[in-house]
Amino acid sequence: MPPPPGALIIDDEEGVRASLRLILGTLGYDPDTASDPVEALARFSPGRHQLVCVDVKLTGHAHTGWDLASAIREQAPSVAIVIITGADTEDVLRRARAAGWPLLVKPFSVADVRAAIEHARPARPANE
């Protein structure tokens, strides 16, 4: 039996990390967490993590969630990325749409997380 897919949760709020860790675990993922950009980049492994959930606003850090998501996408183009936000403003919606990343708006439910993951999966080639 293959190991469960890995997920990396990046959020500066401990409660959000704990909630997502629990939800992703019930959805069949093996989640890791990081509270800041430095820790996130150190933990991220393209061979292990198939999903990354990142908060757009990482309080007190020079890098934003957008910066992190872009850096991770450069390292691993096939990784599924979900953007977490507490404020679904027009700017956040526009940036997420432009990047092709679904939004997970706080507070969220299991159904919200499941839907965001489904929309985050990289497109399959037409011949599959």
pLDDT tens for each residue of the chain, 128 residues long:
888 999 999 999 999 999 999 999 999 999 999 999 999 999 999 999 999 999 999 888 888 999 999 999 999 999 999 999 998 788 998 999 999 999 999 999 999 999 999 999 764 434 33
Task: 69-74: list long-range contacts, CB under 8 Å, 24+ apart.
Answer: 69/99, 69/101, 70/99, 71/41, 72/44
The answer to the question of residue 1 being in a domain is no
The answer to the question of residue 127 being in a domain is no
Structure tokens at 121: 């999966």
Return phi, psi of residue 27, to 5°: -90, 5
Domain of 66, CATH number, reads 3.40.50.2300
Of 87, 52, 93, 57, the closest CA to residue 71 belongs to: 52
Helices 14-26 & 110-120 angle (0-180, nearest 10) = 80
Domain containing 51 equals 6-120
CB 7 within 8 A of CB 51: yes
The number of distinct structural domains making up the chain is 1
